[in-house]
Structure 1
Amino acid sequence: MNIALLANPTAGKGRRASLLPAVRERLGADVTVLAGESAAASRDLARQAVADGCDALVAMGGDGTVHLGLQAVAGTGTAFGIVPAGTGNDFSVRLGLPGEPLAAADGIATALAEGRTRAIDLAHIVGGDGTEAWFGAVLAAGFDAFVNERANRMTWPKGAQRYNRAIVEELLALKPRQYTMSLDGTASRFESVLVAVGNTESYGGGFRIAAGADPTDGLLDVVVAEPLGRLALMGLRPKALKGTHIHDPRVSTHRARVIELDGAGITAYADGERICPLPVTITCVPAALRLLG
C-alpha cells in the first residue's frame, strides 16, 4: 500500500503534532508525508499524490486540512482517511469516526487491509467568478460567514479572542441581507441574517446548524433564519448546539440537490474556509468520497 499522509502540525494549536510518527507507524504501509509551506501548496501536493496513483490519502489535522484533502480525492475513487487532530473536527465527528488520532489511524489501517470503504456524498461549489471547490460539512453565507471574513482581516488580537472580537463587531453591524435562492429550480427572494447549507450537521466545533443532515441521502440541507435582532440571533446559538433551533418558527429548513444562492456583498465559507463571493451553485454529488473507517 502507498499512502499519502497530508499533515498539518499546527492544527489544534499543535497539541497533536508529536503523534505524527506514531500515526505514520500505525498506518502500517509505505507512507509519504505531505506538508506544504502553505495551504495551497499542501493542496497541490495532495492532488499530485492522487494523480500519481496513491492507494489512499489520509488527512491528519482539523477541518481545514480535511477540506484540502477533499479537493484532491473528490470524485476520483481514491480512498480517503481522517486522523482528527484539530479543535472542532466537525466532519469526522458527524461521520462517526474515532475522535482519538491513534485509534483513527488504527481504523484506517484495518479498513485498508480489508479493502473496506464507505460511500459519502460531497457538495460541489461553482462560483460566479469561476471558483470550483468541494466541501464535506457546512457552507455558511450569513452571519457566521461575515464573522469569519472580519476575523481574517484582523491582525489583533490573536487566537480565539480575535474570533470573539469579530463576533461582537458583526453583532453591532448586524442587518438583514437580501438573498435570491433556487432549490432544484424553485426560486425565491428573502431577507435573512443566517443562511447555511449542510452536507453534514455541524460546523464551528459542534454547532448543529443543519441538524438531521445525512451525507448519504443525495441531498443538501438548507437552513434560513428570518431577519433577527442581535439578542434573538444570539438566543439561537445555544439551541444550535443541540440542533433544536430548526424547530424555532423563525427558522426554515429545506432539502435540495442543486442550490443556487446569491446576495450582494456576501462571501461564502465552507468547512471554515473562504471560498468565493456569491453567487454560487452548490450541487450534492452522491458517493463522491470513498471513506476509510
Structure 2
Amino acid sequence: MTSDFIAVLANPSAGRGRHRGLLPGVVQALGAGGRTVRLLEAHNGLEAEAACHQAVGEGAAAVVAVGGDGTVHRALQAVADRPVGFGVVAAGTGNDFAAAVGVPLDPMLAAEQISAALRAGRDHRFDLARTESAQGERRWFCAVLAAGFDALVNERANRMRRPKGPRRYDVAILLELARLRARGYVVHADGVRHSFPAEIVAVGNCPSYGGGMRILPDADPADGMLDVIFAAPLGRMSVARLKPRLRHGTHVTDPRVTVLRAKQVRIEAEGIIGYADGERLGPLPLEITCVPGAVRLLR
C-alpha cells in the first residue's frame, strides 16, 4: 500500500464559515509537492473520525485538519501515536492547538508549510493527552480538558435549541452562573491524592482553550507533562470576573488557585461531563495520561 495521498478533513462551518472560500487554494497548496489531495466526506463528528481512520488505513502520507480545535480533535483520533504526518490549517473560531505548536494562523501559509514539510520528510513531535473513561473508552485531546464550570456551560449550550450561534454560549454562561455551586472533586496527580471543593478544574496539554483563554499559561505541549488547575470556591462574582484575567493568564497568581504538573491525572466528581478541545468526552471519572511525541506535526 503506497503513501501517495494527503487526506483533508475540512469543516466548512469552522470559524463561522469565514474561510470557506479558501479551501480550493489550500488544496492546491497542499498538492504542490505532487501528491494527490483527497477531501474526506463527513456530515458529523463520528463520520469525520471514521473517514480519517479509513484514510490512515489506506496509507495516507498525512491527514490535514482544516478548521478549529474541534476538527483537529476529530482528526487526531486517527493519527495519534501512529506513523503518519499530521497537518493543521487553522480556520476555526478557536485555534488554540495551532497557536501552541507554532502553526501559522494564515491558512495559505500553513498549507504551504505542510506541503514543504512532507517533501522534506520533516516533522515535529508534540505531546497529546489520552483519556480513558470508567468503561475503558479511550480518546485523545490536544489542548485542554474542562471539568468544571466551563464543562457545565458546554453541556448546557449543547442542550439548547436557541439562540443560535455564539449567543447560545453567553446565555448558557448566565444560566450556569445562576446555579453555580462548588462541587466535590478528587484529583490524583501522579498518584498523589487531592480532595477539594471547586468550580474551576481543568487539565491542559496546551496553555489555552476557547480561542485564547490562557487557563494554564505555562503548559507546554512538548515537555511530557500535563498541567492541572483548580481553585478554591470563588463564588459567582469572582467566576464572572475571571474571563478578562484568563486572556492574560494572570489568574494563576490568585492564592486560591492551585496549579500542579503530572504525567498521569485522574479526575473524579459527580454530575460533571468532561469536555476536551470543546468536544464532549463523557462523565467523570476520567484518567488522563500525557503521551510524549504522540503526534508528528508537519510544519
* TM-score bracket for this pair, using the shorter chain length: over 0.9
| 1:73 paired residue number | 79
Deviation string 1:119-149 (CA, Å, 9 cap, x unpaired) is 1000000011332100000000000000000
| 1:130 paired residue number | 136
Please provide the CA RMSD for this pair: 0.8
1:84 to 84, 90, 97: 90
Decide whether the 8 Å contact of 1:181 with 1:261 is kept in 2.
yes
Measured in 2, the distance between the counterparts of 1:164 and 1:236 equals: 15
Mapping 1:162-241, distance limit 5 Å: 162-241=168-247
Measured in 2, the distance between the counterparts of 1:261 and 1:148 equals: 18
1:27 aligns with 2:30: yes
Deviation string 1:171-203 (CA, Å, 9 cap, x unpaired) is 001000000110111112110000010000000
Kindly provide the amino acid, as one letter, of the partner of residue 57 in structure 2: A
Measured in 2, the distance between the counterparts of 1:35 and 1:229 equals: 45
1:18 to 16, 21, 33: 21
Structure 1 gaps of 5+ residues are: none
Measured in 1, the distance between the counterparts of 2:210 and 2:41 equals: 24
1:264 aligns with 2:270: yes
| 1:39 paired residue number | 45
Measured in 2, the distance between the counterparts of 1:279 and 1:58 equals: 31
Instruction: Say which SS state the counterpart of residue 212 (structure 1) adopts.
Output: coil
Instruction: Say which SS state the counterpart of residue 213 (structure 1) adopts.
Output: coil
Measured in 2, the distance between the counterparts of 1:159 and 1:292 equals: 32
| 1:3 paired residue number | 6
Decide whether the 8 Å contact of 1:180 with 1:188 is kept in 2.
yes
Decide whether the 8 Å contact of 2:231 with 2:257 is kept in 1.
yes
Kindly provide the amino acid, as one letter, of the partner of residue 22 in structure 1: G
Kindly provide the amino acid, as one letter, of the partner of residue 27 in structure 1: L
Kindly provide the amino acid, as one letter, of the partner of residue 3 in structure 1: I
Kindly provide the amino acid, as one letter, of the partner of residue 135 in structure 2: D
Measured in 2, the distance between the counterparts of 1:86 and 1:19 equals: 13
Measured in 2, the distance between the counterparts of 1:236 and 1:159 equals: 23
Instruction: Say which SS state the counterpart of residue 241 (structure 2) adopts.
Output: helix
Decide whether the 8 Å contact of 1:220 with 1:257 is kept in 2.
yes
1:288 aligns with 2:294: yes
Kindly provide the amino acid, as one letter, of the partner of residue 106 in structure 1: E
Kindly provide the amino acid, as one letter, of the partner of residue 80 in structure 1: F
| 1:147 paired residue number | 153
TM-superposed CA distance for 1:35, in Å, is 2.5
Paired residues, number: 293
Instruction: Say which SS state the counterpart of residue 189 (structure 1) adopts.
Output: strand
Measured in 1, the distance between the counterparts of 2:162 and 2:250 equals: 34
Decide whether the 8 Å contact of 2:8 with 2:38 is kept in 1.
yes
| 1:112 paired residue number | 118
Please identify runs of 4+ aligned residues in structure 1 that moved more than 2 A. none
Decide whether the 8 Å contact of 1:140 with 1:269 is kept in 2.
yes
Measured in 1, the distance between the counterparts of 2:133 and 2:69 equals: 21
TM-superposed CA distance for 1:239, in Å, is 1.0
TM-score (norm 1): 0.98
Structure 2 gaps of 5+ residues are: none
1:242 to 248, 251, 255: 248
TM-score (norm 2): 0.97
Deviation string 1:36-95 (CA, Å, 9 cap, x unpaired) is 121100110001101111110000011110000110100012100001111111110111
TM-superposed CA distance for 1:234, in Å, is 1.9
